[in-house]
Amino acid sequence: MPSVPRLEALARIGFAARGVMYVLIGILALFTGRSEDGAGALEQLNSGFGRLLLGVMAVGFLGYGLWRVSDAIYDSEGNGSGAKGIAVRAGGAASGIIHLGLCVLAASMTAGTRQGSGGDSTRQGAAATLDLPGGEMLLLIAGIALLATGAIQLSKAWRADFLRNLDSEAASRLQIKRLGQAGFTARGIVFLVMGWFLIRAGWESRSSEAGGMGQALASLNPTIHALVAAGLLLFGLFSFVEARHRRINDPKVLDRLRSSAARIKHPA
């Protein structure tokens, strides 16, 4: 596990990398009519100077992923071991794993070893799941989990409780609150649609019914598509705010991270 200051720095780069990715997704959807997921957005940078940016983003995704996974394991943000805390930590672990995957993707693009998306990874994953014993049920469970994630995102937007993760200066600014609300609303809608796709894929035992963020965006009518795309772009901007103002260096959080690091070095 990296030292606490290094982990904080990497996590902040990760928030910025996430911001670049969501801004690209929003711009592509709004101004070119293309509905892309994270991988598709990153591929827009897969040439020339863009590869240098991809290299920096790979480092950021690595730090962000490690931070999320370590929080899920050691509860560095103090979510607790109750049902709600476990759910939050599980969601954080899933986010961490996804961003570690984005790290690998961005790194492979930087090295020039990946040239194309190779198809829809969500549908490929659904097809692989359906080949497993009980694959239909696994897809149904995954779909329900995505529906729950979408509901949580919408709840965050409504209650604006994401502000408590920011320092007091940023949390008091109305424009930052509105950025977050628009962004979490858009993400909530996308996750709900993705969850429905997975449930349908499991119910009908057809991987072609599954779909990622790109398919979710493409399925929306033009007006909602534009609003959600704008919201995803704003979520990218909110991620830049988090890169600067997220309370990663809160003394209580740092104490928990140090305790986590000590347990890793000296396990019981």
**pLDDT (tens digit per residue) in 218-245:** 999 999 999 999 999 999 999 999 999 9
Where do we find the tokens 């986010």?
95
For the cut 70, the answer to whether the pLDDT of residue 90 exceeds it is: yes
Cα–Cα distances in Å, from 13 out to 59, 65, 141, 254? 8, 11, 33, 18
Cβ burial of 109 (10 Å; 0-12, 13-18, 19+) is buried
For the cut 80, the answer to whether the pLDDT of residue 97 exceeds it is: yes
3-state secondary structure of 115: coil
Q: What is the structure's pLDDT at 184?
A: 97
Least confident of 11-15, 55-59, 130-134, 188-192: 130-134
Q: What is the structure's pLDDT at 129?
A: 81
3-state secondary structure of 255: helix
Helices (H), 75-134: 83-110, 121-130
- Tell me what percent of the residues of the chain surpass a pLDDT of 70: 86
> What's the mean pLDDT in 99-125?
76
> What's the mean pLDDT in 62-91?
78
Q: What is the structure's pLDDT at 139?
A: 87
Residues paired with 246 in a beta bridge: 166
